[in-house]
């Protein structure tokens, strides 16, 4: 092989001399992987098993200079370019088909400053990496609910989880970042340094460059929290979902309760006869004193007549990884999600009807309770605009066999359509699939024009387009 075939930004097929690849390899402290390398198939794998992509090159970067060299190479050859941190996004944008992938997965260091209550985090770090290091000091920052998710992608899209009502989004807790832009230049951004670019990366996704380091604010959490599950039979769904809706409207910020409608996994605290049966699960965490959490969460146990429950003090890190067995890599996934300012009785009825037709044992619909600290930030304060979302409902199609693709995908789409009349019209970019590019503008709402203007400044050629893309603004934009 004397040349390597790749796809340009515009989708044309071009050939790259091997000498050019050798020059890139010599310029990197890391490595350059091509399809001939033994590690190629392992490195191109994505969390979503529906996606099977074959990059022309994988640049395994070990620092900001490597990232700059890889960006320059891709730009100079007009190569389709993607960036991989955790590789967990549903749309699979971490791998560019026949393009270059900047792979940051080897960069997983987390450095905690317990006096300042901050953490400096590498771009390949996973949620579990950050939680383990911060919890050594009884500290945490708001993250998602799956320990194998990448911190970078989560933060750049906003990021919410059990601590969001108390401490805001992941992006709200970003203090500063190092980023390499499309021209190969390195920037340190914060509220006072290049504030426009800092504003854009707090929710604007990977549209503005490659972040090579994140600095987060930390908060006292744990190490033990009051958390767990309460499970109800599905025939009580209307009663318990209404009770949950009413309860969440007055719950304190420290308490988050999410609702999950699915078939019961073989949880040890459930009777064996309930395994595989449709259920309503309430998952909760109280970020405060254990006794107070037990008192405040007690009504969740009385929404109806539970099949079983598992509640009590447990390590924060344990609950952060409790759902990992249900979210392992390699399964086929297709999601559809909506933001809701409220869930009235009609909306709950539509949600329950959609859950009555779950197409498989791994499919589910979950409703995440938000609000609290997240909602008290002005929508224009960061790129993330969905501050009016009191709930995010995700229709999570998940299955194993390719022959079930159409059936499971159709169910997710139908459920999404049935819920649309009750939703805000916005969306959460970390949940958008690869066929939902038309929802990007609505997801950013009032912030979209400003994001386009910043994109025009830092990436006028739209090099970073393998994402939920914000195209550069054409023409003059009002400030």
Instruction: Say what the pLDDT of residue 2 is.
Output: 81
Instruction: Say what the pLDDT of residue 474 is.
Output: 78
Query: Distance from first CA to last CA of the chain, Å, rounded?
Result: 51
User: pTM score > 0.85 for this model?
Assistant: yes
Please spell the DSSP secondary structure of 194-234, one letter per residue. Answer: SHHHHHHHTTSGGGS-EEEEEEEE-EE--SEEEEEEEEEEG
CATH fold of the domain at 3-103: 3.30.43
Query: What burial class does residue 343 get, using C-beta atoms within 10 Å of its C-beta: 0-12 exposed, 13-18 middle, 19+ buried?
Result: buried
Residues of the chain with CATH 3.40.462.20: 224-314+322-437
Instruction: Say what the pLDDT of residue 110 is.
Output: 98
Q: Give the 3-state secondary structure of residue 448.
A: helix
Task: Output the tens digit of pLDDT for each of the chain's 479 residues.
Answer: 588 999 999 999 999 999 999 999 999 999 999 999 999 999 999 999 999 999 999 999 999 999 999 999 999 999 999 999 999 999 999 999 999 999 999 999 999 999 999 999 999 999 999 999 999 999 999 999 999 999 999 999 999 999 999 999 999 999 999 999 999 999 999 999 999 999 999 999 999 999 999 999 999 999 999 999 999 999 999 999 999 999 999 999 999 999 999 999 999 999 999 999 999 999 999 999 999 999 999 999 999 999 999 999 999 999 999 999 999 999 999 999 999 999 999 999 999 999 999 999 999 999 999 999 999 999 999 999 999 999 999 999 999 999 999 999 999 999 999 999 999 999 999 999 988 889 999 999 999 999 999 999 999 999 999 999 999 987 654 44
Angle at 10 between CA 6 and CA 13, to 5 degrees: 30
Residues of the chain with CATH 3.30.43.10: 3-103
Residues 6+ apart with CB under 8 A from 218: 112, 117, 118, 119, 134, 137, 139, 140, 141, 173
Side-chain half-sphere exposure of 80, counting CA atoms within 13 A: 23
Please spell the DSSP secondary structure of 370-411, one letter per residue. Answer: --GGGGGS-TTSSS---TT-SEEEEEEEEES-GGGHHHHHHH
CA 351 to chain centroid, in Å, comes to 22
The strand pairing partners of 15, in sequence order, are 5
Side-chain half-sphere exposure of 212, counting CA atoms within 13 A: 21
* E strand segments, 109-155: 110-113, 118-121, 139-140
Other C-beta atoms within 10 Å of 264: how many? 22
CATH number of 224-314+322-437: 3.40.462.20
Contact 48, 92 (CB under 8 A): yes
Instruction: Say what the pLDDT of residue 479 is.
Output: 40
Pairing label, strands 81-84, 100-103: parallel
Instruction: Say what the pLDDT of residue 1 is.
Output: 53
């Amino acid at each position: 092989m004397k040349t390597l075939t790749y796809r340009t930004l515009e989708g044309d097929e071009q050939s790259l001399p091997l000498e050019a690849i050798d020059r890139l390899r010599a310029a990197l402290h890391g490595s350059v992987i091509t399809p001939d390398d033994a590690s190629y198939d392992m490195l191109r794998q994505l969390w979503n098993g529906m996606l099977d992509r074959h990059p022309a090159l994988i640049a395994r970067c070990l620092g900001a200079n490597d990232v700059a060299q890889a960006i320059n190479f891709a730009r100079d050859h007009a190569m389709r370019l993607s960036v991989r941190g955790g590789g967990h996004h549903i749309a699979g944008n971490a791998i560019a088909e026949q393009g270059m992938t900047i792979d940051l997965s080897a960069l997983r260091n987390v450095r905690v400053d317990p006096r300042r209550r901050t953490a400096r985090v590498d771009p390949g770090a996973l949620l579990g990496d950050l939680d383990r290091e911060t919890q050594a000091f009884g500290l945490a920052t708001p993250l998602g609910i799956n320990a194998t998710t990448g911190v970078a992608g989560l933060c750049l899209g906003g990021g919410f989880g059990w601590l969001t009502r108390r401490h805001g989004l992941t992006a709200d807790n970003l203090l500063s970042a190092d980023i390499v832009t499309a021209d190969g230049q390195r920037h340190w951004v914060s509220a006072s340094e290049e504030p426009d670019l800092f504003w854009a990366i707090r929710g604007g996704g990977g549209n503005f460059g490659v972040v090579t380091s994140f600095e987060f604010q930390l908060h006292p959490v744990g190490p033990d929290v009051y958390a767990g599950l309460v499970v109800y039979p599905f025939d009580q769904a209307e009663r318990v979902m209404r009770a949950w809706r009413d309860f969440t409207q007055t719950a304190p910020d420290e308490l988050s309760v999410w609702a999950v409608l699915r078939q019961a996994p073989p949880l040890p605290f459930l009777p064996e006869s309930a395994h595989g049966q449709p259920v309503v699960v309430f998952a909760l965490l109280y970020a405060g004193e254990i006794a107070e959490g037990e008192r405040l969460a007690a009504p969740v146990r009385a929404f109806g007549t539970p099949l079983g429950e598992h509640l009590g003090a447990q390590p924060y890190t344990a609950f952060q990884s409790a759902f990992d067995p249900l979210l392992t890599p390699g399964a086929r996934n297709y999601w559809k999600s909506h933001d809701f300012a409220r869930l009235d009785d009609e909306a709950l009825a539509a949600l329950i009807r959609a859950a009555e037709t779950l197409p498989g044992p791994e499919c589910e619909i979950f409703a995440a309770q938000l609000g609290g600290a997240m909602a008290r930030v002005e929508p224009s304060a960061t790129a993330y605009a969905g501050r009016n979302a009191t709930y995010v409902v995700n229709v999570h199609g998940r299955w194993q066999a390719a022959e079930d693709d159409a059936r499971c995908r159709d169910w997710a789409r139908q459920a999404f359509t049935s819920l649309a009349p009750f939703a805000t019209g916005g969306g959460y970019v970390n949940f958008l699939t690869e066929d939902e590019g038309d929802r990007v503008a609505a997801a950013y709402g009032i912030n979209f024009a400003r994001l386009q203007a910043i994109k025009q400044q830092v990436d006028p050629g739209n090099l970073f387009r393998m994402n939920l893309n914000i195209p550069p603004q054409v023409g003059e934009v009002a400030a």
